[in-house]
């Protein structure tokens, strides 16, 4: 009896583009009326990630409902625009058939906010 009792692959793959509009909306909502303040930047990033996670978890849209085996990872950066630059890069090991990454940028008058969203399928 060498029969698998579970399916290791997802029944339906998530489409990362379903999240793009939600990520853009969340960045705009969090940072549109904010000006750079280094003391509140960390909390603002945490709030943005928590808001996006809550929106995804409470969404009634079946296209972006997560299966119990998908895990989301959020990361947000804020960089002050003061004549310097910052480059962000990521390197990950994953299954390109099931896992993906989405990033979006919001540019304010004196800062840039970047949000990364990874979703990973746990076998």
Q: What mean pLDDT comes out for the span 69-86? A: 86
Tokens 């509140």 identify what position?
40
CA–CA distance, 56 with 53 (Å, rounded to integer): 5
Distances 30 to 21, 62, 76, 106, 117 between C-alpha atoms, Å = 14, 25, 12, 10, 16
Report pLDDT for 106: 96
Report pLDDT for 65: 56
CA–CA distance, 95 with 59 (Å, rounded to integer): 26
CA–CA distance, 36 with 61 (Å, rounded to integer): 33
Strands (E), 1-123: 70-80, 100-107, 111-121
Q: What mean pLDDT comes out for the span 66-91? A: 82
Report pLDDT for 52: 92
Sign of CA dihedral 35, 87, 95, 122: negative
The top-scoring range by mean pLDDT among 8-17, 56-65, 77-86, 103-112 is 103-112
Q: What mean pLDDT comes out for the span 8-16? A: 65
| Mean predicted lDDT score pLDDT of the chain | 82
**What are 101's strand-pairing partners?**
118
Q: What is the pLDDT of residues 85-96, one digit of tens each?
A: 778 777 777 877
- Tell whether the model's pLDDT for residue 75 goes beyond 90: yes
pTM (two decimals):
0.79
In which band, very low, low, confident or very high, does the pLDDT at 39 lie, cut at 50, 70 and 90?
very high
- The domains of the chain, with CATH numbers, are 17-121 (3.30.1140.40)
Please tell me the least confidently modeled range out of 24-28, 55-59, 104-108. 55-59
Tokens 């896992």 identify what position?
99
Contact in structure between 119 and 57 (CB atoms under 8 Å)? no
């Amino acid at each position: 009896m060498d029969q698998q009792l579970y399916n290791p692959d997802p029944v339906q793959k998530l489409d990362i583009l379903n999240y793009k509009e939600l990520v853009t909306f969340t960045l705009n909502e969090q940072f549109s009326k904010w000006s750079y303040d280094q003391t509140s930047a960390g909390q603002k990033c945490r709030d943005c990630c928590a808001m996006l996670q809550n929106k995804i978890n409470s969404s009634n849209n079946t296209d972006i409902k997560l299966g119990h085996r998908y895990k989301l990872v959020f990361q947000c950066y804020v960089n002050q625009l003061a004549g310097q630059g910052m480059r962000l890069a990521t390197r990950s090991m994953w299954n390109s058939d099931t896992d993906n990454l989405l990033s979006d940028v919001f540019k304010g008058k004196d800062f840039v906010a970047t949000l990364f969203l990874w979703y990973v399928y746990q076998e």
